[in-house]
Amino acid sequence: MKRSVLYILLFLGNLLGMNIVFKKLNSKKIRVIMYHGVSGKKLPEYYWLILNSDSFRWQMKHLKDNYNCGDASVVLDNEPSQSINRVLITFDDGLKNNYDVVWKILAEFSLPAVCFVIPCLSKENKQNWSTEFFDILVNSKTNKLNLNQFGLEDIALPANKKERAVILGELGTRLKSMNHEVVENILNFIRTNYLDSDFKPLFELMSSSQILELSLSNEFQIASHSSYHKVLSNLSREKQKEDIALSLRNLNDLGIPFLPLFAYPNGMYNNDTIEVLKEFGFKAALIIEDRHFTSADNKFEIPRVEIGSNISRLEFMARLSGYFYFLKKIQATLTFSKKN
Ligand SMILES: [Zn+2]
């Protein structure tokens, strides 16, 4: 569906009350939404993981006025069939802006959220590799990336930042399939060779003491997002176990209370991950999938709707009500019948 057609359908649908109808039809489903960060500044669109604070505030008001937002018990203690229009707000990675910007806005609306942190990276004052390499390279003055020593071909980086971001997105997908030690080496190489002197990181993580402060607030509950944001499904079961155990030990050592809830780094996991989480007493885990959580879903594969700065107000409203997914279903049916 062309974006313009989608926009018209969302616009007209909203006028005709479709969001009200679909909200009622989907009242027994739980909406788990996933954010990364919010900034007071307007950022270029390729930083779509970070919303502008005005958009975020508008979304929080929409949730407060129309939905039943709760803390982690929404997914830990409830079944979708028992709840009415429940929403759980989540943040991944524990970015510093969660402390500086998000917290105040959540407090303004008395809305709770779960923040999935990466304790070892926060403690070591490092960043999540999958956003750090992007942030460095999208801003670097270089026009060619030479990663030959890691078995990769030369990558041309266009001056146009939008095009550059697409190429870096593709590189990120490739890095996710690689061994984490190699990824670490690549990241070190990028830091040494391509980091501009005036670079200001946008994906800084909170410090351990800031996480502790958030955990004691009325707005945030803390949960693990692994130790180092490695792609867990690339690791052996033993290594996954070590990684998750280390994240919990770190939270414990810092006196940070945490939930028996997990968010898979990069949304990637396998059966071993689920089994290890169960061994550690976790009760549920969240994936990234653009739909609502229903009673047919496994609690270790709870879908989350990812919200970035690329989602318009109309899309946000329609994703929450479920009208958006109805349109997508119609589109899929039309495409299918066209093909056959
Ligand atoms: Zn993450």
Tokens at 319, concatenated: 């994703």
Which element (helix H / strand E) includes 259?
Answer: strand 258-263
Number of folded domains in the chain? 2
pLDDT classification of 340: cutoffs 50, 70, 90: low
Whether 37 is covered by a domain: the verdict is yes
* Residue 7 covered by a domain: no
| Identity of residue 246 | L
Instruction: Tell me the CATH number at 233.
Output: 3.20.20.370
Residue 263 near residue 223 (C-beta atoms within 8 A): yes
The per-residue pLDDT for 78 is 77
Contact yes or no for 264/246 (Cβ under 8 A): no
Instruction: State whether 284 and 159 are in the same domain.
Output: no
> Do 312 and 213 belong to one domain?
yes
Domain that holds residue 75: 27-124+208-321
- Can you give the pLDDT at residue 289? 96
Structure tokens at 237: 């079961």
Q: What is the pLDDT of residues 284-322, one digit of tens each?
A: 999 999 999 999 999 999 999 999 999 999 999 999 999
Answer yes or no: is 117 within a domain. Answer: yes
- How close is the Cα of 229 to the center of ligand 1, in Å? 6
pLDDT at residue 148 is higher than 70: yes
pLDDT attached to residue 329: 92
Q: Give the residue from 208, 195, 138 showing the smallest Cα distance to 172.
A: 138
Output the pLDDT for position 126: 94
- 146 and 236 together in one domain: no
Centre of ligand 1 from the C-alpha of residue 93, in Å = 5
Long-range contacts from 182-188, C-beta under 8 angstroms, 24+ separation: 182/150, 183/129, 184/129, 185/150, 186/133, 186/147, 186/150, 187/129, 187/132, 187/133
Q: Contact 210/155 with Cβ under 8 angstroms? A: no
Q: Is 2 contained in some domain?
A: no
Ligand 1 center–CA 225 separation, angstroms: 7
* pLDDT at res. 257: 96
Indicate the Cα dihedral angle 291, 295, 301, 304, nearest 10°: 30
Nearest CA-CA partner of 91 in 83, 82, 102? 102
Q: Tell me the CA–centroid distance for residue 251 and ligand 1, in Å.
A: 17
How far, in Å, is the centroid of ligand 1 from the Cα of 8?
Answer: 33
Residues with CB under 5 A from ligand 1 (ion): 92-93
Instruction: Determine, yes or no, domain membership for 294.
Output: yes
Q: In a 3-state reduction of DSSP, which class is residue 282?
A: coil
What one-character-per-residue DSSP string does 315-335 give?
A: HHHHHHHSHHHHHHHHHHHHH
Q: For residue 52, give Cα distances in angstroms to 105, 186, 291, 312.
A: 12, 31, 23, 12
Asked if 38 and 117 sit in the same domain, the reply is yes
Q: Does 107 lie in the same domain as 248?
A: yes
Do 303 and 224 share a structural domain? yes
Strands 305-306 and 31-35: parallel
- The residues that bridge with 220 in the sheet, in sequence order, are 113
Residues 53 and 148 in one domain: no
Quote the ligand 1 centre to 266 CA distance (angstroms): 5
Ligand 1: centre distance to CA 303 (Å)? 15
Task: Check whether residue 41 and residue 114 sit in a common domain.
Answer: yes
Specify whether 157 is located in the same domain as 226: no
Whether residue 330 lies inside any domain: the answer is no
pTM for the structure as a whole: 0.95
DSSP string, 62-110: HHHHHSEE--THHHHT--GGG-SSEEEEEEEE-BHHIIIIIHHHHHHTT
- How far is the CA of 56 from the CAs of 50, 209, 312, 313, in angstroms? 10, 25, 11, 10
Residue 269 lies in a domain: yes
The pair of structure tokens assigned to 129 is 């590799």
Confidence of residue 2 (pLDDT cuts 50, 70, 90): confident
Residue 191 in this model has a pLDDT that exceeds 90:
yes
pLDDT of res. 284: 98
111-129 per-position pLDDT tens digit: 999 999 999 999 999 999 9
List pLDDT tens digits, range 217-228.
Answer: 999 999 999 999
Distance 126 CA to ligand 1 centre (A): 14
Is 332 among the domain residues?
no
153 shares its domain with 45 = no
Amino acid type, 12: L
236 and 279 co-located in one domain? yes
The pLDDT of residue 333 = 85
pLDDT in tens, 233-289: 999 999 999 999 999 999 999 999 999 999 999 999 999 999 999 999 999 999 999
Mean pLDDT across the stretch 121-148?
A: 93
Specify whether 223 is located in the same domain as 281: yes
Q: Which of 214, 29, 26, 203 is nearest to 113 (CA)?
A: 214
Output the CA 36–ligand 1 centroid distance in Å: 8
